[in-house]
Structure 1
């Protein structure tokens, strides 16, 4: 689950739902504000803030530990367990999905069963020190100061980079996956880990799409 502090003494908790091929299919959330008396569903609010720069300016990504510290200070009690928080989500927001675009009949290199290309979209801005921090965190050379990396999970290979997309309106984490065919579920683990790396530097994830 992802946690955010809201300007004006509030906390937003969110969780994405993913399909079989690890693309985003839904968003659930709950929100609490000082003096409100309790948690309420916030899936629609979470979707709306991602397209409203004024709302985006009011949210700050944090860890659960930080959210728990703030909640205890404001509410005087421990932050509810994640299972309890899910009980306040209410109706989930559903995401429309489409089949990935196939640009060629087969562009999978020899020795691999499948090639996939994903993009995780993010809103808000990255500070220069956060870009530098990602360059230090990810095991790979950056391209013109833009963070990237390469890695292996078993026999599967991953390559990724973070770049400006949408005429500079958003950030995109592009991930290319070469699957050997042993355990395709590892794709989700890698995507979530890389997404968390970026989110910890202040960006807000929007959705995960598959291009190929």
Structure 2
């Protein structure tokens, strides 16, 4: 699960979970939000959408881990943060994500191409931290921050526009890597960038 603290008035806590298809693409986002004023959890698909489209809201939002979310919840008077099974029971209205069949780019059936899309931009140390977490090597291309590979996978961090969005593109050669490792790699890369303050938007598959 992903946890966010939102400071746009009384501090709120947003909990999200990406809903993944069998091929590890994102089919939707489940979410619930809590604020000390209301004192109860509510489904929050509109807040999830706004977080990805409104730069001003993102500027007041901090991605955190569960421990930090639990500390904020207790500090704000909520008591003990519900465990993740109980939080999932609060996900009553899913935010669907667009889905399209992968393009046929002439690649081997065992080769897949994914894109993890993020809204926002890196802070002063965020890009360096992302390079280290993804073990990126420089490319000389201003649009491609770095590339790396290993275990049947290759990936690169790309800039999309100026301060608009970023993405991690992943190529998976499934004949050289177990399929189970693909989901773990995509999740690792998604969390590595989210920890630097960017908001994951979707996981798409191009081939």
- TM-score between the two structures when normalised by the length of structure 2: 0.90
Alignment-derived partner of residue 206 in structure 2: 211
- For the pair 1:3 / 2:19, whether they are aligned, the reply is no
Task: After the TM superposition, list the runs of 4 or more consecutive aligned residues in structure 1 that deviate by more than 6 angstroms.
Answer: none
Q: Aligned partners of 1:199 and 1:60: how far apart in 2? A: 10
What is the aligned counterpart of 1:138 among 134, 141, 147?
134
Q: Which runs of 5+ in 1 are unaligned?
A: none
SS at match of 2:171: strand
For residue 126 of structure 1, what is the aligned residue in structure 2?
122
Counterparts of 1:41-190 in structure 2 under 5 Å? 41-75=43-77, 77-104=79-106, 107-108=107-108, 114-144=110-140, 146-152=145-151, 157-166=152-161, 169-180=164-175, 183-190=178-185
3-state SS, counterpart of residue 161 of structure 1:
strand
| Corresponding residue pairs, total | 202
How many angstroms apart in 2 are the aligned matches of 1:64 and 1:18? 21
Asked if 1:28 is matched to 2:30, the reply is yes
Residue 130 to residue 79, structure 1, CA distance change in 2 (3 Å): same
Q: For residues 193 and 137 of structure 1, what CA distance do their matches in structure 2 show?
A: 9
Root-mean-square deviation (Å) = 1.8
Change (3 A) 1:37 1:101: same
Separation (CA, whole Å) in 1 of partners of 2:2 and 2:177: 30
Note the alpha carbon deviations across 1:140-191, whole angstroms, 9 max, x for none.
Answer: 4132482432221xxxx11111111256521011111111177323211110
Alpha-carbon contact 2:28-2:97 (below 8 Å) kept: yes
Instruction: Give 1:74 shift.
Output: 0.8
TM normalised by structure 1 equals 0.88
